[in-house]
Structure 1
Amino acid sequence: MKLFLLQSQAEVRRIFRNPYFVFWSLLMPLVFYFIFTNVVSTGVPDQDEWNAHFLMSVTAFSVMGSSIMTLGIRLVQERTEGWTAYLETTPLPPVTYFTSKMAGQSVVHVFSIVFIFLAGRIINGVSLGAAEWFLSGLWILTASLPFLALGVMVGLMKRVDTASGISNLLYLALALTGGMWMPMEVLPEALQMIGKWLPAYPYGSGAWGIIRGSAPEWRHIGLLIGYLALFLGAAVYIRKRQDAMQT
């Protein structure tokens, strides 16, 4: 447990020192938020409701991207630079290494959620009840686990440039088909049908429902749990195959 806590603390410090994280996970979502709520005319009947809805979208967008890209690319970098091989000579178990990565990333997500929520309050005066702020933030944090698992899968790739390209593609495709940039209803029907079975839509939908007074749907929770199991299982299988090929 002590090794886990120390490694998690180190991960948090390293992430905050990374300008890539600050730009893509904090500044870019706020730029999107400002543009789509103050510059682009969406024609929505209730602007205040849209401001709150899109605040949940950009927060989920930020956490999802941080899980897939920041975590995944960093894992590839550490392995290609020999850091992972060095850690294997220390008492730190491999399981602790990966779980501390995910835990450290989750701590950073708490900061991201609070930061973006505060920005929404300042930029557009988004007003929610204390329970709505807390529960929507808690949902965005805990329901990000499948994306952290996907980030671990990305981190098993052999090259940094490959991991960067694929993680960007996954991130943007999930955001688009998940209704995080625009309501699902305006997307083509084919994209709507596909998107509702991908993890990004149930992820965002849970937060959208909470700020409207409803709980996340059980089928969405089941989908996210299923994707978590799928991505973790695939990551374990790929890791075992890689170890077997090296021996």
Structure 2
Amino acid sequence: MNATLIRTEFKLYLRDISSVFLGIVMSPMILAILGSIPSFRAPDPALGGRSVIALYVPILLGVTITMVGLTTMPIPIATYRERGILKRFATTPARPGDVLMSQALVQLAILFTGSLLVLGIGRAAFGVSVPRNLGAFVVAFILCCAASFGIGLVLASLRSSKVAQGIGTVLFFPLMFFGGLWVPREVMPETIRGISDFTPLGAGVQAMQDASAGSWPQWLHLGVLAGYGIIAWLVAKKLFRWT
């Protein structure tokens, strides 16, 4: 692994203020704003004794995963190929794959930073307990990441970075809705919640919420996440070109 290349990719990432905001700052900031509402911190019998803010921790983890997977990861990769950077790297000791691996490590580091901030703020500021079924939570989190990053790699396979960015933005907002950012899944109409079950973020959020409450996620949601991940990675492998 080329340490110099990784450091360079980190520096390039940190120069893009919008990417830093989306990947690290936005979800913790939303959590802090919601947590400042007293009624959101109180246990609600209609939510099984959980508070609204406790529901929003998995939602915002899903938002962080989706932001990184669909908005901040595909653009640099598509731009590198579009500008011929990957092709030029093929003539140097640093192979094109090294560039992609370095970019992946940067994006994963950003994802984990944003996720740890959400979990840390939820615990320290609002008393949200750690997931009661930690093993199941980790499984749900990883599958959600695999699905989101797979879709992001499909976008990165497109010939134009602007097209990748445009499609990622179009996908982002409906995914946020079905993931429960504006209306938590628990209060969605049954039909909408049924549709949400078959979206990557809706399935991921519900799986993480189930694990947070101490139960094992439904196999439907884990299967949906695994399906998106497998199909997206296979499509990305088929479509991706270095030049």
- 1:93-145: per-residue Cα shift (whole Å, max 9, x none)? 4444434433332232222211222222343232337x667864674245301
- Alignment deviations for residues 196-243 of structure 1 (CA, whole Å, 9 cap, x no partner): 112112211121112101122333222222111111111122226x96
Contact 2:196 2:203 in 1 (8 A): no
Quick one: percent identity of the two aligned structures? 21
Q: 1:20 is matched with which residue?
A: 18
> What residue number does 2:110 align with?
108
Q: Which runs of 5+ in 2 are unaligned?
A: none
Distance 1:79 1:166, change over 3 A: same
Q: Which residue of 1 aligns with 2:51?
A: 49
Q: Contact 2:90–2:96 (CA<8 Å) still a contact in 1?
A: yes
Contact 2:144 2:204 in 1 (8 A): yes
Aligned pairs for 1:1-247 (under 5 A) are 2-3=1-2, 7-8=5-6, 10-39=8-37, 45=44, 49-128=51-130, 136=137, 139-141=140-142, 143-239=144-240
Give the distance between the partners of 2:212 and 2:151, measured in 1 at CA: 27
CA distance in 2, matches of 1:231, 1:68: 12
Name the SS of the counterpart of 2:22 in structure 1.
helix
Q: Per-residue deviation at 1:39?
A: 4.0
> What SS does structure 2 have at the residue aligned with 1:143?
helix
Separation in 2, partners of 1:10, 1:222: 37
What residue identity is the alignment partner of 1:106? Answer: L
Moved more, 226-235 or 184-193: 184-193
Measure, in 2, the Cα distance between the counterparts of 1:199 and 1:179: 12
Map Cα deviations across residues 41-85 of structure 1 (whole Å, 9 max, x no partner). 669725853222211211221122111110011112222333222
CA distance in 2, matches of 1:142, 1:174: 16
The answer to whether the 8 A contact 2:32-2:121 is kept is no
CA distance in 2, matches of 1:44, 1:165: 40
Instruction: Give the secondary structure class of the aligned counterpart of 1:144.
Output: helix
- Cα RMSD for the two superposed structures: 3.0
CA contact (8 A) 1:175 1:200 kept: yes
The residue identity in structure 1 corresponding to 2:156 is G
TM-score, normalization: structure 1?
0.80
1:148, CA displacement in angstroms? 0.8
C-alpha distance in 1 between matches for 2:230 and 2:67: 19
Amino acid at match of 1:45: D
> Is the contact between residue 59 and residue 179 of structure 2 (CA under 8 Å) also seen in structure 1?
no
The Cα of 1:167 is off from its aligned counterpart by 0.8
In 2 relative to 1, CA 138–22 (structure 1 residues): closer, same or farther, beyond 3 Å?
Answer: farther
Q: What's the TM-score, normalizing by structure 2?
A: 0.81
CA distance change for structure 1 residues 9 and 203 in 2, over 3 Å: closer, same or farther?
farther
